[in-house]
Structure 1
C-alpha cells in the first residue's frame, strides 16, 4: 500500500514539473495576447470615408465686358499680348473662362502646356475647351481635386498635392516598415484625400414599383380562402411552395400545384406591398440597419433591412445583386420616408462598419438630411461607440436570424421576382401578422380590421383588401 502511494506522489510531482515546463515554453514562444490590427493606420484607410469636399461654384465670364470694365477703371484699353517666345499660342485657342481670343493669352510655362488669360487672370491647360461651373476643392489644403478613376456608378476624385496636410499626416503615421512597403507598392495604401462623386441620382429612383409577373385576383379553380391558406403555410409557417401544396392536399383535401401557390404568393406580394410601404408606423429616432445575403439561381444577392429599434417594425428593405451604396441609399430612403418630419440630428442610426453606410450618409447630407451615424464594429466592445450602441446592432441581428429561418426552406430563389415576392410577404407578415414577445404576443402594428378576424387565412385576405382600397384611393386622388 505504501509503495502505491509513493508511486502516485512521485508521478504527481513529475506531472507538476512537466506542467511547469509547458507553461514556461508557452510564455516564451506563444504570446497570450496577439496584437490587433490598427484600423487607424493609413494602410487600412481604404475602408474609411473622407469628409465632403468644398464645392466651389464658378460663374462664366465675358471677356468683352471685362475689357470694358478695365477701360472704365484705367482710362485705356487692354492691349493684346506681344508674344516673343518660341511657342506662340495657337490661333484657335480661346480662354474657357471668359472666351478671350488667343492674342490675349500668355504661354505661362514656356511651352509645357499651361496658359494664362490676360483678361480674367485664370490659368488653364492648352487644349481645354470645356467650362466647369463646379470645382471640387480639397477641404484640407484648398487645391482642386483631380479626377482619377471612372467606376460604374461614381467617379473618384483625388487630391494630388504632396503638401496637403491630410497626406502629410497619413505619411507620418506610417511605421518605418510601412514606409518601405509604401515605396514599393503605393497602391496598397490610401494616403491622399479622395472623394466619390456619384453619377446616378439614387434620390429619384422609384421606390413603389410592384413585383413583375403578378396576376389579378380572379379565382377560377379556387377561392380567396385557398389563397389565404397558401400564404399561411408558405409565409407564416415557412413551408416551401411544394410543401404547401402537399399540406393543402393532405390536410384540406385541396389538390393544387406548387406553381399556383407561387403565383398566389407573387400576386399577394404585389397587392400587399403598397399598404406595407405607406403605413403610418410613427417611427422613433432609433434606427438599426444591416444586410444579409440570399441566393438567386446560385448567385449571392443581398437583402438590406432597416428597422425601428424600439418598435421593432421593418421600415426599409431592398434586394440587390451587389453590396454597394446604391441599394443602401434606397433602403434608407424608404425608411426615412416613414417620418412625417425628418428628425435630423436627433436621429440615431446604427449600422456595422461597412463603408456603404458612411457614403450614404454623405449623399443624404447633400440633400440637407443630416443625421447621427453610429457604426458598431466587430463582435467585442473595443470602442465607446460599440459599447453604447451594441444593443441596436443586436436587435437587427435577431431580425436577420428570423429572416434566415423563413428563407432556408427555399434553398435559394429561382428568380429575382421570387426573392422580391418572399421579402415583401415576409415584411408584411413580420409587421402586421406575426406575434412578438415585445408586444405580449400581439402583432407589432395593430389594425382594427384584422383584430376581429379569428383565423390567419382571413387576416391575409383582409390585408390584401385594405391594400387594394389604398391603391384605389391613390388612383382617385
Structure 2
C-alpha cells in the first residue's frame, strides 16, 4: 500500500513539472501582449467599442443677403464675390450651411483636405457639413470630426487629431512589443456613428393589407383552429398537420392551405399581441438568436419581462445591426404607459448594438435607462455574477423557441419567418402553460372563460386581433 502512495506522489510531482514547462513555453513563444490593452482581449472587438456622444453644433440659419446688406450699411461698400487666382473652382452645389451663401463666396480653405470658409459669415465647414447642417466635435480635444466611412445606415466620423487626449491614452496602453504595422488592429481614435435612418419614425403597428377576414368556402373556423393548434402548439410542420387532420379527424386539407391560414392568422393576431397591455416590470432582458431563411442566416431579437416572463418586444431581421435592435426596444418600451427615466434595468449580452441603441434613445428621445451587459459564459466579474440568472431566462426562452423552429428546417421566405415567429409569440404569451404561473398562461384573458378547447381559443385570439385592427383604422381616420 505504501509503495502505491509513493508512486502516485512521485507521478504527481512529475505532472506538475510538465505543466510548469508547458506554461513557460506558452509564455515565451505565444504573444500575450494584447491582454495588457485595457479595452478587450481581442483587437477586433475594440473596433466596436462605443464612445460617448460628441459635441454637436447645429448651424443657426442666417440669410446671407441680409448680411450683405448689413455689411453695405456698416462699411458703405459692397462685399464682392471671391476673385480666385489659384485656378481652384468650387462646385456649384457647395453652399454655406449657416447663411446659405452660394459658391461664389466660398473659399477653399485648406487645399485638397475638404475644408471651406464662407466670406460672408466666416463659418468654416467640411465638405459634408453643407448637407447635414451639423458639425460634430470631439468631446476630448474639441476638434472637428471628419467623415471616415459610409455604411448602410450610418456615417462613421473620426477624430484625426494626433494630440487628442483620448488617442494618446489608447496609444500609451498598447502592448510595448507591438509592430507599427499592427496598430490598425486596435481602436485608438475617437469614433462616432451618425445614423441617417431615423428608426424612431418607423411605424411599428401599421395594419397590413394581408390582414383580411376569412371567407371559408369548404372549411370553417373550427378547422382553422385545429390547424393552428397542431401547427403551433404541437410543433408540427404543415405537411404533418395535414396528415394528422386526415388521419385523426378525417379532414382532407392540403399543407399549402394550412400555410395560407397560418400566414393570414398571424397578420390578424399580430396587432393584438404587439399592443396588448402586459403591465411589465422594470426588469427587462434581451437577446438575439439566428434562424435560416432560404439557407441564409437571419436573426430574431427577443425582449422579455424578466419577472413576468412575457415577450414584449421582438423583431425578425436579415442583419445583426442596430436598426432591428432599436425597433425591438421601441416595441418593449411602448408597453410602459409612463416611462420614467433611469427606472428600467435592461440586461443584455456584450454585443455593441445595445449600448449604441441606448445612445440613440438618449439622443433622439431623451429616454434614459440602465443598461447592464453580461459578458461571456462564466462569471468573471461582479456584474456577470449578480445578473447571470436574468440572462439565463432569455437563454431558456431561445431554447424553447428553437424546439419549435427545428421542425421547420428553416423558413422559405422572410414573410414565412415573420408569421411563424408572430404565431409562436402569441402562443407563448397567451396559450402556453407555464410553471412560473402554476401551469397557466402568462396572460390570462377573460374571453377564454367561454372557450372549451384550444381551437376555440385561437378563434378568440383572431376575433381580438380583428377588433384591434378596426380600432387602429378608426383612430387613423380620426
Given the two structures, how large is their TM-score scaled by the length of structure 2?
Answer: 0.86
| Aligned match for 2:228, one of 218, 226, 231 | 231
Partner Cα separation in structure 1 for residue 245 and residue 91 of structure 2: 80
Partner Cα separation in structure 1 for residue 302 and residue 90 of structure 2: 60
Aligned twin of 2:165: 165
Bigger CA radius of gyration: 1
Aligned twin of 1:148: 148
Partner Cα separation in structure 2 for residue 337 and residue 45 of structure 1: 32
- In the alignment, is the contact (CA less than 8 A) between 1:213 and 1:417 conserved in 2? no
Give 1:42-81 correspondences, 5 Å limit.
43=43, 44-62=45-63, 65-66=66-67, 76-77=75-76
| Aligned match for 1:252, one of 249, 262, 287 | 249
- In the alignment, is the contact (CA less than 8 A) between 2:107 and 2:118 conserved in 1? yes
SS at 2:309's partner residue?
coil
Higher mean alpha-carbon deviation, 342-351 vs 39-48, is at 39-48
Partner Cα separation in structure 1 for residue 410 and residue 136 of structure 2: 44
The yes-or-no answer on 1:25 pairing with 2:18 is yes
Task: Report deviation, 1:128.
Answer: 9.4
Change in CA separation of 1:280 and 1:142 when aligned onto 2, cut-off 3 Å: same
RMSD: 3.5
- In the alignment, is the contact (CA less than 8 A) between 1:284 and 1:311 conserved in 2? yes
Per-residue deviation, residues 304-343 of structure 1 (Å, max 9, x unmatched): 1111111111111111111111111111111111111222
Alignment coverage as a number of residue pairs: 464
Partner Cα separation in structure 2 for residue 471 and residue 268 of structure 1: 13
The yes-or-no answer on 1:426 pairing with 2:424 is yes
Give 1:262-281 correspondences, 5 Å limit.
262-281=259-278
Task: Report deviation, 1:137.
Answer: 1.2
- In the alignment, is the contact (CA less than 8 A) between 1:136 and 1:144 conserved in 2? yes
- In the alignment, is the contact (CA less than 8 A) between 2:90 and 2:108 conserved in 1? no
Aligned twin of 2:342: 345
Contiguous gaps of at least 5 residues in structure 1:
1-7
Task: Report deviation, 1:185.
Answer: 3.3
Partner Cα separation in structure 1 for residue 378 and residue 356 of structure 2: 24
Change in CA separation of 1:227 and 1:184 when aligned onto 2, cut-off 3 Å: same
Task: Report deviation, 1:283.
Answer: 1.2
Partner Cα separation in structure 1 for residue 185 and residue 242 of structure 2: 55
- In the alignment, is the contact (CA less than 8 A) between 2:57 and 2:135 conserved in 1? yes
The yes-or-no answer on 1:381 pairing with 2:374 is no
Aligned twin of 2:134: 134
Aligned twin of 1:470: 468
Contiguous gaps of at least 5 residues in structure 2:
none
Partner Cα separation in structure 2 for residue 469 and residue 79 of structure 1: 68
SS at 1:345's partner residue?
coil
Change in CA separation of 1:269 and 1:33 when aligned onto 2, cut-off 3 Å: farther
